[in-house]
Structure 1
């Protein structure tokens, strides 16, 4: 610790030896820095604020029908990527900044300078943006900010339209590709069905389902055949117990003779009479009228029977047994139906035998059909999904065209304050004074290191490594002490004058700032 303190004291004594050189260097640096602060050009800052309204009434109404778009994220990304090289080149043309550019190197330097000085800030909000630019010319700064606002609005709308067009174009291309694949799959499926027509039913089922369906149809036809044969046998037994015809006896009442057309009417009227008698008495007009009609029909039947008996021409028909004729007709129909069912059963048996004969091909055919059908369903599902997405994209485009992607509102138009935004000379001037003092101290330290002087025997012994036999001490006289005090006062005055110099300049700059 003592060595460190001794070394520090030695450096300070060395710097004190070259203090006047340090004061001169500090004054020189102070004058130069002060002049530089005063000569710095004024920087005027032009700014504008833009509000981006991303809310739309149509969004909740079209939810689930149109493709949702994250407009807030798009605007945020746009604000971060707005200051790009193509946009800066466009801004240079819009603000007429390329009028004095002659070479490519100057243009590149101008682009780099603008990309460094252009600023976009959101202030913590995603819908409010501040665009600013600093320049020595207020008019030029205003033109640059105006051009930047125009590019910001146009980029927000143009990029969205470009993305939408690209998406629709891609979906249309995919739809065409899947449409071709779907047509090819349909053709392969159709050719396979035509080639193996016998293995499939009318509904395009697989061969196993077709065999099961044929067996069910065959069993149903056999059941119907057995039922029809049993019905035919029952009709034959009934027919064997009936006489083909009968002759009425001469003394027998005419009411026992059947006249089908009149008997049916009489039976209907008797049923109606029975229903009326259950509700009314015999003296009711409807009951009396019904009895009179029945008597008239029975008289008409008696008269008809007498006419046929006397003429003899219709007596054979009169004597034909109607039950026998009906059974005969039923038997004929049963025989015809049995013949038809036998033919159906034979056809189904032929088909089933044919399908069973090709049973070895059924698994292979089923596998091929399943593969073709699976490919067709996959292509169809993808095709229908793309069609649905295209319709959603069209709805989104129409919605954006009606409501707008986002509403850009210029809250504060581009403006330039009359007071320059930079440089802050009132802050730079004391910093310049501090730098000049530090520079003077550093200069004196470097001189003490370049031209070292030993102030005691220990320092000499340490540096040379030789033994020091003795030292001679200087005796300070009164005149020497006066001269030392005078030099110290002059040094303090020089340093103080430097501080006062920068203090006065700083005070003047502060007063100018308040006056402006």
Structure 2
């Protein structure tokens, strides 16, 4: 066959690609040659995705949202209690509550799994599956559009199942079980807290009584081990020291007075001689004083006045006679007498000595008392560590006992609130609903993906075969690759056996290509009839 190219000479191999029409003709030829493998690939991929889609039934999700309000902060049981758990901690707590054995038994009953009377192994497998398909999210109240409040939290429970009715029943039971179990757990925790605090109150009450008894016993043995006695002893010691100092000063003063009086007494005579004239003058003065006294009441003729006048004249006469004898040192009739100054000094000396003895006695007494108080102070100082330890133990027990009394009362109120279900407020903000449409990948998605991939994969293999197969299929390839003109071509001739084999492969390939849409249509009909 001559294609009649007008080129006089070919310069050599050409790098140009084959025309598109030529490539399409080659692809048609190769498709006929490899129709059975391509059809097999098409059918395997399509049926594989269809089986995959049938093995993954549609998933229906049902969710419920519960609003939880923690009112426990109304009755704080302790000043330094731990902070409220965050969202992660609440999620863990919720999972522990919902996935407990008792709750999962109710879930199996609500989902109808117990109707088949499964074995314990099957129950555990079902529980593991339910747990894997259940999602719990705990968020703060701010996500619901309310003002942010740490006491508010939203618990969202989402359950996925192939049966929409069962998904709804399980989700509804999960939300109800959350409320029931949390309230029951809160009540048990409050009751346990109250019992623990009550036991601690009894313990510290006994410890406080024991501390009081020890302190009283110690004070009964040591009477000075009372608060404030050390201040009294210190004041008493200061007072006694002042008393000793004052008594010593008084004693020194009395001693000086005694020395002075003894000196004066040594210079005085005990007996003195009084002259006669002195005696007469003294008697005369006494009579004159008596006469003057009587004259105040009587006249000069009164007998007593006359008698005293006579005695005065007699004494005056004796006095004049004594005056004439003044040269003699001692008159006749003069007598010695005690010196009054000497007696006075003796009396003063006796008084001073008495005062000195009293001052010495005060010094001795004050020193004895001071020694006693110093010994008492040393005893008190020695007892202070024991008293401080006993007092500290009593105060610590008393403070703990009083604090625990307050906490026990708070725990009692909290226990009552939890028993009545008022410590936590629950509100189902979004109740569980029956899902109408499945979520995630459905059978239609698998079928469309399978048909698309089953169509593209054979075309891609055919394109690679046509473009990259090094064998020569057209005269144009020889001219372009070898740079030589093609004078004629010999068509391919098939034997009878080859012809029958190709015909059989074409029929099988066509059957496979037709079987895929037929099977897809049948599955669609069965799906619409709700058989699959």
TM-score by length of 1: 0.52
Indicate if the aligned counterparts of 2:76 and 2:410 stay in contact, CA closer than 8 A: no
Match of 2:165 among 139, 146, 160: 139
Root-mean-square deviation over aligned CA pairs: 5.6
For residue 133 of structure 1, give the secondary structure of its aligned residue in structure 2: strand
Question: What is residue 212 of structure 1 aligned with on the other side?
Answer: 234
For residue 193 of structure 1, give the secondary structure of its aligned residue in structure 2: helix
Hey, what's the Cα distance between the residues in 1 that align with 2:365 and 2:174?
87
Hey, what's the Cα distance between the residues in 1 that align with 2:420 and 2:52?
58
Structure 2 segments unaligned to the other structure (5+ residues): 1-29, 145-151, 249-295, 298-360, 472-487
Question: What is residue 400 of structure 2 aligned with on the other side?
Answer: 382
Question: What is residue 492 of structure 2 aligned with on the other side?
Answer: 479
Indicate if the aligned counterparts of 2:135 and 2:158 stay in contact, CA closer than 8 A: yes
Indicate if the aligned counterparts of 1:50 and 1:130 stay in contact, CA closer than 8 A: yes
Equivalenced residue count is 353
Matched, 1:156 2:182: yes
TM-superposed CA distance for 1:32, in Å, is: 4.5
TM-superposed CA distance for 1:186, in Å, is: 1.6
Matched, 1:51 2:53: no
Match of 1:92 among 89, 93, 108: 108
For residue 116 of structure 2, give the secondary structure of its aligned residue in structure 1: coil
Indicate the structure (1 or 2) with the bigger Cα radius of gyration: 2
Indicate if the aligned counterparts of 2:91 and 2:138 stay in contact, CA closer than 8 A: no
Indicate if the aligned counterparts of 1:117 and 1:133 stay in contact, CA closer than 8 A: yes
Question: What is residue 165 of structure 1 aligned with on the other side?
Answer: 191
TM alignment of 1:273-288, pairs within 5 A: none
Indicate if the aligned counterparts of 2:43 and 2:516 stay in contact, CA closer than 8 A: no
Question: What is residue 215 of structure 2 aligned with on the other side?
Answer: 189
For residue 416 of structure 1, give the secondary structure of its aligned residue in structure 2: coil
TM-superposed CA distance for 1:478, in Å, is: 2.4
Greater per-residue helix proportion: 1
Matched, 1:431 2:449: yes
Question: What is residue 323 of structure 1 aligned with on the other side?
Answer: none
Matched, 1:364 2:382: yes
TM-score by length of 2: 0.50
TM alignment of 1:275-424, pairs within 5 A: 352-357=370-375, 361-397=379-415, 404-421=422-439, 424=442
Indicate if the aligned counterparts of 2:78 and 2:407 stay in contact, CA closer than 8 A: no
TM-superposed CA distance for 1:153, in Å, is: 0.8
Indicate if the aligned counterparts of 1:44 and 1:137 stay in contact, CA closer than 8 A: yes
Indicate if the aligned counterparts of 1:119 and 1:131 stay in contact, CA closer than 8 A: yes
Structure 1 segments unaligned to the other structure (5+ residues): 1-14, 227-249, 252-342, 449-453, 457-474
In the superposition, relative to structure 1, how do residues 434 and 367 fare at CA in structure 2: closer, same or farther (>3 Å)? Answer: same
